[in-house]
């Protein structure tokens, strides 16, 4: 019998020792909890990186990852494979309704909102851009009734890959289904090629957002200015309580007086003994 010229591919196995080394590295550099029960998931996801990098073992991958070059170039890819970049336009819509109908009218009654001193928003963990563009749409609608209102939006993520998508501001038509039809007509441009089924955010909104790379595990955040309102939603679910507390204190440091923090509906600061006051569930004000 002739030998099979195409033998069955057997993927490499990840040893417990290698998993533990990766788990410690991921927690230290990304803040993400990585208990032993996630070993199978991590092995399957990192296997894609092995193939992309033409590396044959997880041990070789660790050698690359733990180097200075690896921390610079591979860490964003590791973040991508260890988290789920799920995001949508108008995700958790109650936040945007509260922002437009209650928070901003009250906030702007005592906060100058001029061109020289705009309200500064920060979408921390912006992924592919749906959240900051939703913010821009809501703020533009608020500005229609309040023409003196001015704002800027900072948007950051650790992943250069998702930031590149966000900057392009091009989305499939099925991705914009949560956007009300009247708002689509105002703020989205259809592709001239009807077969592509693509839309793009209008230039005016794109100009309001500054995208940049930032790892939330950095010791402190260097931002262009202090911030009035932070959206960090469905990010802290990956972190331990200790790392959540450290992150929220770093947010506290960059928030202006009486600034606000929005978290995801599955996240809470209750019982963390932090200098924030609960306004409504998942919305907090700096004390």
User: In this structure, which long-range contacts are made by residues 201-208, counting pairs with CB atoms below 8 Å and at least 24 apart in sequence?
Assistant: 201/133, 201/136, 201/169, 204/140, 205/133, 205/136, 205/137, 205/140, 205/169, 206/169, 208/136, 208/139, 208/151, 208/152, 208/153
Active site (annotated) includes residue 172? no
How many C-beta neighbours within 10 Å does residue 202 have?
A: 17
The residue extents of the domains of the chain are 16-82, 93-168+203-286
pLDDT given for residue 161 in this prediction: 83
- Which CATH architecture group holds 16-82? Orthogonal Bundle (1.10)
Burial string for 22-60 (b: 16+ CB within 10 Å, else e) reads bbebbbebbbbebeeebbeebbeebbebbeeeebeebee
Q: Are 263 and 255 in contact (CB under 8 A)?
A: no
Helix count and strand count (H, E) for the chain:
12, 10
207 CB neighbour count, 10 Å cutoff: 10
Residue 94 neighbours by CB under 8 Å, 6+ apart: none
Q: Where do we find the tokens 């296997």?
A: 47
Options 45, 91, 184, 200, the catalytic residue = 45
Place of tokens 């998702």: 162
Pairing of strands 119-124, 227-232: parallel
Number of other CB atoms surrounding residue 4 within 10 Å: 7
Mean pLDDT by runs of 10 across the 287 residues of the chain is 54 86 89 87 90 90 90 83 80 95 87 79 95 97 91 92 92 93 94 85 96 91 94 88 91 95 90 89 94
Do the domains spanning 16-82 and 93-168+203-286 agree at the CATH topology level?
no
**In terms of DSSP H, where are the helices of 16-57?**
16-30, 39-53
φ, ψ of residue 214 to 5 degrees: the values are: -155, 135
**CATH T-level assignment (fold) for domain 93-168+203-286:** Rossmann fold (3.40.50)
pLDDT at 11 (0 to 100) = 65
The active-site residue out of 49, 80, 157, 228 is 157
Q: Does the annotation count 45 as an active-site position?
A: yes
185 is written with which tokens? 């007509």
Whole-model pTM: value is 0.84
CA dist 159 and 137 (Å) reads 24
Three-state SS at 127:
coil
């Amino acid at each position: 019998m002739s030998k099979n010229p195409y033998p069955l591919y057997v993927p490499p196995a990840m040893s417990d020792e290698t998993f533990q080394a990766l788990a410690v590295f991921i927690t230290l550099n990304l803040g993400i909890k990585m208990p032993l029960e996630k070993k199978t998931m991590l092995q399957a996801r990192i296997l894609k990186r092995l193939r992309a990098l033409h590396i044959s073992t997880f041990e070789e991958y660790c050698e690359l990852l733990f180097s200075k070059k690896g921390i610079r170039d591979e860490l964003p890819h590791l973040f991508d494979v260890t988290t789920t970049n799920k995001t949508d336009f108008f995700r958790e819509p109650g936040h945007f309704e509260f922002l437009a109908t209650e928070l901003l009218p009250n906030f702007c009654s005592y906060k100058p909102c001029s061109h020289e001193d705009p309200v500064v928003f920060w979408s921390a963990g912006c992924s592919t851009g749906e959240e900051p563009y939703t913010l821009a749409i809501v703020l533009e609608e608020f500005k229609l009734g309040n023409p003196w209102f001015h704002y800027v939006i900072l948007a950051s993520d650790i992943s250069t890959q998702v930031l590149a998508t966000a900057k392009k501001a091009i989305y499939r038509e099925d991705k914009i289904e949560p956007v009300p039809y009247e708002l689509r007509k105002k703020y989205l441009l259809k592709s001239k090629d009807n077969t592509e089924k693509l839309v793009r955010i209008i230039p005016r909104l794109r100009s309001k957002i500054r995208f940049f790379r930032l790892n939330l595990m950095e010791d402190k955040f260097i931002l262009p200015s202090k911030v009035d309102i932070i959206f960090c939603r469905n990010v802290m679910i990956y972190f331990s309580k200790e790392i959540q507390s450290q992150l929220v204190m770093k947010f506290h440091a960059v928030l202006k007086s009486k600034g606000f923090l929005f978290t995801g509906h599955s996240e809470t600061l209750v019982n963390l003994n932090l200098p924030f006051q609960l306004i409504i569930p998942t919305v907090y004000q700096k004390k």
